[in-house]
Amino acid sequence: MKLWLKLLIGSILGICIGFIIPSDNQALLDNMAWLSGLFIQIGRYVLVPMLVFSLTIAVYELRQDNKFWGLILKTLPVMVICSAFVITVGIAAVRIFPPGRIPIDFEQAEAISLNTADNIMKLFPSNMFAAIMSDGVYLLPACIFAFFLGVGLSYDRNYTKPVISLLDSLSRIFYHITRIFSEVLGLLMIAISAYWAVRFNGIMKSEIFMNLVLLLGILSVLLGCVILPLFLYLIKPKTNPWRVLYGSIGQALAGFFSGDMNFTLPIIFRSMKENLGTRRRANTVTVTIFAFFGRAGSAMVAAVSLIAIINTNFRMDITPAGIIGIGFSALVLSFLLSSHPGSGAYTALAVLCLGYGQGIEAGYLTLKPMAFYLIAIGTFLDVMITSVASHAIGRVCEFQDEEKDIKNFI
């Protein structure tokens, strides 16, 4: 059975279960939250070793071919352009189709920070090996370790050849272990999507957030499944965008219901190689960059939510300068969410509200009941941007193997 079909069946079963379960049973919700959290941890269990060894070999091989910096210099502008485009479209949509009033909660706002200074300090711990002793949440220190290790392998082949062979073997071993874990994700998705559905059922009953839910849902489908794939028509050599969309169904489902980029990364790596034919040395680098620094979907959801809160509570028109300020702030935030793989959109919204001031510092608390939905939409778009852009870059940079027949997709 295809991986995406397993995930879809598991998601549908979970949704059915979630809508049957009463959303006001707190004890049951707590148990479901624990089970969902456990399964998300299982899903990202093998990510750190696979990422470290695969990225190390990718950096080494790309440097050997003198293609590493060329790939980076093509990836970064694409990431910035994608982020700016997605955020602009989201802001335009909420301005044209403003949602209904969302009563704001004037509670005392909690101090929420991205801890950027601390995260930068963690990139270079006093002990280099401490970088790979990760809890599976903030993975940039492990990626920095992999980069320098990959660079070091170019020192002298007479000395490094045995290490290169070992690391390449470990990369392949952990990639195979990732395949094993991927095969059971359909079962894990039952509990994960059930917990998502029972919360969604609860917010739909209140009807307060209905308009914002619809706006974000329609916007995410149009961006992730129509507009972004259409840009693939512009690249050469030509590719079929709908084939890419079909090959990305698995990670789209995983990202939406889990709301966790780290949970979804192993599926993206497999899909890029085994469905879309992008070589591992390229997609390991591009996917990692987009997954950690290209969180445009989460930033867009935060910007849209902030504007919706302002418009519906203060009945004041935001000036063009204010709109530009919100958009620029969201763009900057899209590059700073690497330490929040499972709460990107809501954390970004909290930072935007606290930074905007003018009485809406606690505006993000109003949307706390639908935080999981904001995170789901944001992660879905992050995943789709990562998949489409990584495939496009790999194709343009000639890291594309022969296209596989759809019937041979995983």
Structure tokens given for 383? 């995943």
Decide if pLDDT at 116 tops 90.
Answer: no
Nearest residue to 154 (alpha-carbon basis) of 144, 146, 164, 145: 164
Of 312 and 52, the structure prediction assigns the larger pLDDT to 52
Q: What pLDDT score does 103 carry?
A: 67
| Cα diameter, the chain | 70
Please write the tens of the pLDDT for every residue from 82-106.
999 999 999 999 989 888 777 666 5
pLDDT at residue 315, as a whole number: 57
- Weakest-pLDDT range from 107-116, 193-202, 303-312: 107-116
**Mean pLDDT (the chain, rounded):** 89
Give the model's confidence band at 110: pLDDT under 50 very low, under 70 low, under 90 confident, else very high: low
Measured distance CA(363)–CA(351) in Å, rounded:
11
278: phi then psi, degrees, rounded to nearest 5? -80, 130
pTM of the model: 0.93
CA R_g for the chain: 21
- Which domain covers residue 356, as residue numbers? 3-408
Of the pLDDT bands very low, low, confident and very high (cuts 50, 70, 90), residue 263 is: very high
Domain count, the chain: 1
The tokens for 398 are 């000639």
Question: If phi over 0 gives left and psi between -120 and 50 gives alpha, with beta otherwise, what is residue 235?
Answer: beta
Q: pLDDT by residue (tens digit) across 214-262?
A: 999 999 999 999 999 999 888 887 888 898 999 999 999 999 999 999 9
- Choice among 77-81, 129-133, 178-182, 186-190 with the minimum mean pLDDT: 129-133
Looking at per-residue pLDDT, the higher value among 376 and 117 belongs to 376
pLDDT at 355 > cutoff 90: no
- Mean pLDDT lowest among 195-209, 331-345, 356-370: 356-370
Number of CB atoms found within 10 A of residue 25's CB: 12
The pLDDT of residue 226: 93
Q: Is 409 helix (H, G, I), strand (E, B) or coil?
A: coil
pLDDT of residue 117: 84
pLDDT of 111: 63
pLDDT of residue 380: 96
What percent of the chain stands above pLDDT 90? 58
Mean pLDDT of 133-138: 81
pLDDT band at 108 (very low <50, low <70, confident <90, very high): low
Q: End-to-end distance of the chain based on CA atoms, in angstroms? A: 8
Q: What is the CATH number of the domain that holds 51?
A: 1.10.3860.10
Task: Tell me the C-alpha distance between 150 and 154, whole Å.
Answer: 7
- The dihedral through the CA atoms of 88, 92, 98, 104 has a sign that is positive
State residue 112's pLDDT score: 72
Per-residue HEC secondary structure of 337-371 comes to CCCCCCCHHHHHHHHHHHHHCCCCCCHHHHCHHHH
Q: Is the pLDDT of residue 287 over 90?
A: yes
pLDDT above 70 covers what percent of the chain? 97
Between 142 and 159, name the one with better pLDDT.
142
